[in-house]
Structure 1
Amino acid sequence: MAKAERHPLSSLSHYLPDNTLEDVLSFINRYKVQLTITRARKSVLGDYRNAHGTENHRISVNGNLNKYSFLITLLHELAHLVTYETYRHRVQPHGREWKDSYAAILRVFLEKQVFPGDIAMELHRSLHNLGASSCSEPGLMRVLKNYDNDSIGLSLVEDLKPGEWFVTRDNKVYIMEKKIRTRYLCTAYPSKKQYLFNGLYEIKILEQHPEFP
């Protein structure tokens, strides 16, 4: 399980884009949010737990995200909080009520022009149909990856041509076979097992690799 860390609210500026701390703190203080920053989690970027009993609202966000991904994820979870305050458990987690709350919160930051142009453009484009997962729209995911410090020198599976070799972050080697609908069929070396990859999965392209024996 990812380790959660409590941080003084003043240290949030390290994780956020410039000129956003005051507005973020306004939300956190208004709703008495217990915010934790976790190590990287593969399954989620952030999480929200509603207040109950003596517990305040709790939000967690992965601390390895770039500043823009961190802010968008935090706003996603704050939208869950605002939706819960109004509707409790009477609506779907990512239904119209949540989407309206998320869009309203996003607009606060879009109007202040805190995002680079490419990210702002994708956020404006997605406002009419916001995804259930933070940063989940493919166009937004692509531009956000440009701001990841650990993505330098990496490519995406969708950049590969059939027959090209690549290596994943866990040092496993594959060859890209073909695209199947929205996924990419790849064969592992040397096991020859085949897997379907999301096109936005980050990899390093290999110039050459020995053929299968």
Structure 2
Amino acid sequence: MDKVKVLEKYLPPDAAPLIGRWIDYFKCEFKISRNRNSKFGDYRAPYGGKGHRISVNYDLNPYAFLVTTVHEFAHLHTWNEHKQKAKPHGTEWKSNFKRMMQPFFEKDVFPADIKQAITSYLNNPAASSCSDLTLYRSLRKYDAPKEDVHTVEKLRVNAVFKLKDGRVFRKGEKLRKRFKCVEVSSKRVYLFSPVAEVELIDG
């Protein structure tokens, strides 16, 4: 099947042709991956006879899929220019991400709130990666509704929640940007992102 037709299933349709051209131009292996809780996408530099490799989670909404794809291609482009000399989310990567996002702004692919969040993120040198919460929250608004899924920040203090792997935690106080939560069985303390998705047990 034509790669653009496949990409149209995951991306805003107007974005698919350009991403298809990037895959060819950069001679990149582009994989649509299973869900990974720890990351939306991944870039691997050429190594051991393999070329550039990018993978993006299959279950992202089209706007999140596109932002993640551009994020990873910006890593690829930065590696081509600087190899290991550039920091992963340093000024070189930021500059490439901004430039590579521009065609999609010109095509008006994004809703206004996501476009504003991306622009704000790119103009904020303190934001070190796409874990930027404002951008993440604006992208999440376009997810399909999920039953029984809550984010940690929406739970009250002392609420008990469960992860996909079955581990159970009790929510505690906020420490700077993350929430201190205690695993019920081991009493060990873990720090959770405000936007981590969990299942409420007792809240």
TM-score range, shorter chain: 0.7 to 0.9
Question: Cα distance, 1:47 vs. partner?
Answer: 2.2
Question: Cα distance, 1:173 vs. partner?
Answer: 3.8
**Mapping for residues 12-161 of structure 1, pairs under 5 Å:** 12-51=7-46, 55-129=50-124, 131-133=127-129, 135-149=130-144, 151-161=146-156
CA displacement, residues 37-66 of structure 1 (integer Å, 9 cap, x when unaligned): 221223332222334686432222222222
Contact 1:145–1:151, Cα closer than 8 Å, also in 2: no
Contact 1:178–1:184, Cα closer than 8 Å, also in 2: yes
* Distance (whole Å) between structure 1 residues aligned to residue 138 and residue 147 of structure 2: 13
Aligned-partner SS, 1:32: coil
Partner residue in 2 for 1:3:
none
Unmatched segments (≥5 aa) in structure 2:
none
Contact 1:166–1:173, Cα closer than 8 Å, also in 2: yes
How large is the Cα RMSD of the aligned pairs? 2.6
Question: Cα distance, 1:166 vs. partner?
Answer: 3.2
Between stretches 75-84 and 46-55, larger displacement belongs to 46-55
Contact 1:61–1:74, Cα closer than 8 Å, also in 2: yes
Unmatched segments (≥5 aa) in structure 1:
1-6, 209-213
Larger Rg: 1
Query: What TM-score comes out, normalization by structure 2 length?
Result: 0.83
Select which of 177, 182, 197 maps to 1:187. 182
Between stretches 188-197 and 84-93, larger displacement belongs to 188-197
Aligned-partner SS, 1:196: strand
Aligned-partner SS, 2:85: coil
| Equivalent AA in structure 2 for residue 27 of structure 1 | W
Aligned-partner SS, 1:89: helix
* Distance (whole Å) between structure 2 residues aligned to residue 20 and residue 64 of structure 1: 17
* Distance (whole Å) between structure 1 residues aligned to residue 58 and residue 135 of structure 2: 19
The alpha-carbon distance between structure 1 residues 44 and 177, as it changes in their structure 2 partners (threshold 3 A), is closer
What count of residue pairs does the alignment treat as equivalent? 201
CA displacement, residues 72-103 of structure 1 (integer Å, 9 cap, x when unaligned): 11111111222222223332232211110011
* Distance (whole Å) between structure 2 residues aligned to residue 197 and residue 16 of structure 1: 29
CA displacement, residues 182-208 of structure 1 (integer Å, 9 cap, x when unaligned): 222233446554433221111234465
The alpha-carbon distance between structure 1 residues 185 and 23, as it changes in their structure 2 partners (threshold 3 A), is same
| Equivalent AA in structure 1 for residue 160 of structure 2 | W
